Structure 1
Amino acid sequence: MRIKFCGTASLADMRCAIDAGCDAVGFIMGVTHQSSDFVTAAEAAKMVRRLPPFVEPVAVTHLQETQDLIGLVKESRCTTLQVQNIIEPTELDAVRDALPYVTIVKAVHVTDASAVAAAKRYEPYADALLLDTRTREKLGGTGIPHDWNISAAIVANSTIPVILAGGLTPENVREAIRKVRPYGVDVHTGVRKDGVRNPERTLAFAREARNALPNSGNEE
C-alpha cells in the first residue's frame, strides 16, 4: 500500500514522514481556498533537495491556469503534480506537453454519486486520481471522510491508479482500505497533533495502512 503524507511544511514534517517509510510527501502551494501547512514553491524546493531516493515530491495546488501550474512545478522541483481544483481535462494535456517527466494526479471530490462520472471524465488525461473530501471553504485537508461506497465504485471501474484521501486517520485507515481497495492512501490532518505532524500518529498510520490487506506491505 503506497502512502503519501501531505501538508509537509518543514524539515521536521518531512523527516517524520520519511521515518514512517512514506512513498511520497506533499507540499501544498498556490492556495486559493482555506488551507493549512502551505509553503512557497521556493520553500518546497529547499526541502525537495533534502529528500532521499525513492520518495516522491508532490506539488499539491489549487491553481487552475496552465502556465501557473507549469511554473509551480518548475520552481518547486516536484516530480508529481496534484491538481485539487476544477480544471478542464484537456488542460492537463498542456501541462504534460510542457512537463513530460511529471506525473499528474487529479483530485476528484466525492460529494455524491456524481463523482463517478467526474472520475471517468479525468481518467484519460491523468496518471492517477485522488478521491478527496471538500467543503465550501476547503478543497482538501478537511479531516472529514466521504462515502467510501462511492470511492469503492470508482476504484473498481478505474483503468488508472486511485488514491484515497479525505478524513483518514490511524484509527480508520485500515477499514477504509479494506472497503475501497485503493492503490494508495493520502493523509494530512489525521496525523497531526497540536498543529504539527505527530511522529507517533504518523508511524501508526503507516503501520495500519501497510497491514490493512494480506500481502500489502512494501511492494518491490
Structure 2
Amino acid sequence: MEATTRVRVKVCCIMSEEEARIAVRHGASALGLVSRMPSGPGVISEERIAEIASQVPPPVGTFLLSCATEVEELVEQHRRTRANTLQLVDHVPRENLRRLRQALPGVRLVQVIHVASPASLDEALSVASEVDALLLDSGNPTLAVKELGGTGRVHDWEVSRRIRERSPVPVFLAGGLRPENVVEAVRQVGPFGVDICSGLRTNGALDEDKVARFFRALDSGVLGLHHV
C-alpha cells in the first residue's frame, strides 16, 4: 500500500489541556492519557484524564493507557474517563480481550506488544485478531517493577517490521522515537502510525519546538514512501 498521507501520530503522556492543544494544533491524530502505572512518565489521575478527554475535538483519538488486565477493572476505568480507545500496556489474555469487546462495543482496543525478541512476533499475531490495532513498544514487563512504556529506548525495528508485515490490523510504532530518527523508523518499519512521549519533552513538559520539528520531519521525509 502506498503511503499517500501523513503517517498518523499519537502524542502520548498528555498531562494538561494546553499540552493537548499543542499536539492537536501540530497535527496529532491521537493523544495518550496515562492512568496509574507501576513505572514511567506522564501519569495523571482518572479525573484529569476525563477532563482532558472531554475537551479533545473529534476526530482526534483519546487513548486511555491502562495497566489493568481484568475486564471489570478496564470497563470501570473507561466509564470514569470516557476515552474512545483503550491502550492495553500489559498482556491481556485473548479471552479477556473478547469479553472486553463485548462489554465495550463502541470502544477501540489497542494491545501493546513490548518487542524484546523475535518471539514478540508470535505474541503479536496471537492477539491481533482480537483488537483494532497493535502498538509496538520497548518496555519490559518481566521486571520486578514492570516497564510498560515511556522508556525512551529503541527496540529492534526489524522485528517490528516483520510484525507489521504479518499483522491483520494497523500497527503503531513506539519506543525512543524523536525528530531525528522518526523518518528512518518509518522507512524501516512502515507503520500505520507512530507514538511518541519522551522524545517531545524537555524537563518533563511537552516542548512545542520539538513537536513542530517532529511533524516537519515526517512531512519532509516520509512523503512518497511505500510500504507493503
Q: TM-score, normalised by structure 1?
A: 0.94
Q: Please tell me whether residue 188 in structure 1 is matched to residue 193 in structure 2.
A: no
Q: Please tell me whether residue 47 in structure 1 is matched to residue 56 in structure 2.
A: no
Residue 3 of structure 2 is matched in structure 1 by none
- Calculate the aligned-residue CA RMSD, in Å: 1.2
Provide closer, same or farther for how the CA distance between residues 42 and 176 of structure 1 changes in structure 2, counting only shifts above 3 A: same
Q: How does 1:66-215 map to 2 (within 5 A)?
A: 66-135=71-140, 136=143, 137-215=146-224
Which sections of structure 2, spanning at least 5 residues, go unmatched?
Answer: 1-6
> C-alpha deviations, 1:71-114, integer Å up to 9, x for none?
11111110100000011012011111111000000000100101
Residue 4 of structure 2 is matched in structure 1 by none
User: Of the candidates 6, 16, 20, which is equivalent to residue 22 of structure 2?
Assistant: 16
Q: TM-score, normalised by structure 2?
A: 0.91
Q: CA offset at residue 210 of structure 1?
A: 3.8
Q: CA offset at residue 157 of structure 1?
A: 1.0
**3-state SS of the aligned residue for 2:64?**
strand
> C-alpha deviations, 1:159-194, integer Å up to 9, x for none?
110100011111100000000000000001110011
Q: How does 1:22-61 map to 2 (within 5 A)?
A: 22-31=28-37, 33-61=38-66
Q: CA offset at residue 66 of structure 1?
A: 0.9
Q: Which sits farther off after the overlay, 134-143 or 162-171?
A: 134-143
Residue 3 of structure 1 is matched in structure 2 by 9
**Contact 1:60 1:83 (8 Å CA) reproduced:** yes
Provide closer, same or farther for how the CA distance between residues 113 and 175 of structure 1 changes in structure 2, counting only shifts above 3 A: same
Residue 65 of structure 1 is matched in structure 2 by 70
Aligned amino acid, residue 107 of structure 1:
V
How many equivalent residue pairs? 215
Q: CA offset at residue 144 of structure 1?
A: 0.2
Aligned amino acid, residue 9 of structure 1:
M
**Contact 1:58 1:78 (8 Å CA) reproduced:** yes
Q: CA offset at residue 215 of structure 1?
A: 4.3
Which aligned runs of 4 or more in structure 1 are off by greater than 2 angstroms? 209-216
> C-alpha deviations, 1:97-143, integer Å up to 9, x for none?
11100000000010010100001101111110000001334110000
**3-state SS of the aligned residue for 2:87?**
strand
1:80 & 1:210 partners in 2: Cα distance? 26
**3-state SS of the aligned residue for 1:131?**
strand
Q: CA offset at residue 45 of structure 1?
A: 0.9
> C-alpha deviations, 1:16-74, integer Å up to 9, x for none?
2112110000100132x212211122111111111122111110111111111111111
2:98 & 2:31 partners in 1: Cα distance? 24
**Contact 1:177 1:212 (8 Å CA) reproduced:** no
**Contact 1:90 1:125 (8 Å CA) reproduced:** no
Aligned amino acid, residue 130 of structure 1:
L
1:89 & 1:41 partners in 2: Cα distance? 26
- In percent, how many aligned pairs have the same letter? 33
